């Protein structure tokens, strides 16, 4: 799990990611499913800023949108979920 976290952080730092983006990555290891309103509320940022950061994480392959909707979208860090599931199995 630590190796995956470090991999995400290195990928984003090499792309000169903001501290906010790195905070979202760290939060994904507590809760691997996020939404725009949740990120906006948790980090006290605008919904637009939350979406821009979510979009960067989707582009980096960290998050995947799982609802297929235009509104009320949910994003999941599938690699983190896979690691968690491997511990359960």
- pLDDT > 90? residue 14: no
Q: Is the Cα torsion angle 4, 10, 11, 17 positive or negative in sign?
A: positive
CA distance 9 to 85: 22
pLDDT at position 17 is: 73
| pTM summary value | 0.88
The domains of the chain, with CATH numbers, are 2-88 (1.10.10.10)
Residue 89 has pLDDT above 70, yes or no: no
Per-residue pLDDT tens over the stretch 38-51: 999 999 999 999 99
Q: Alpha-carbon torsion 42, 48, 62, 74, what sign?
A: positive
CA proximity to 26, closest of 49, 44, 47, 43: 43
């Amino acid at each position: 799990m630590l190796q995956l976290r470090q991999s995400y952080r290195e990928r984003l730092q090499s792309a000169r990611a903001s501290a906010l983006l790195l905070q979202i990555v760290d939060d994904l290891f507590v809760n691997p499913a996020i939404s725009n309103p949740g990120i906006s509320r948790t980090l006290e940022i605008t919904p637009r800023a939350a979406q821009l950061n979510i979009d960067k994480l989707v582009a980096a392959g960290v998050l995947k949108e799982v609802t297929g909707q235009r509104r009320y979208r949910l994003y999941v860090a599938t690699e983190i979920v896979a690691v968690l599931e491997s511990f359960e199995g």
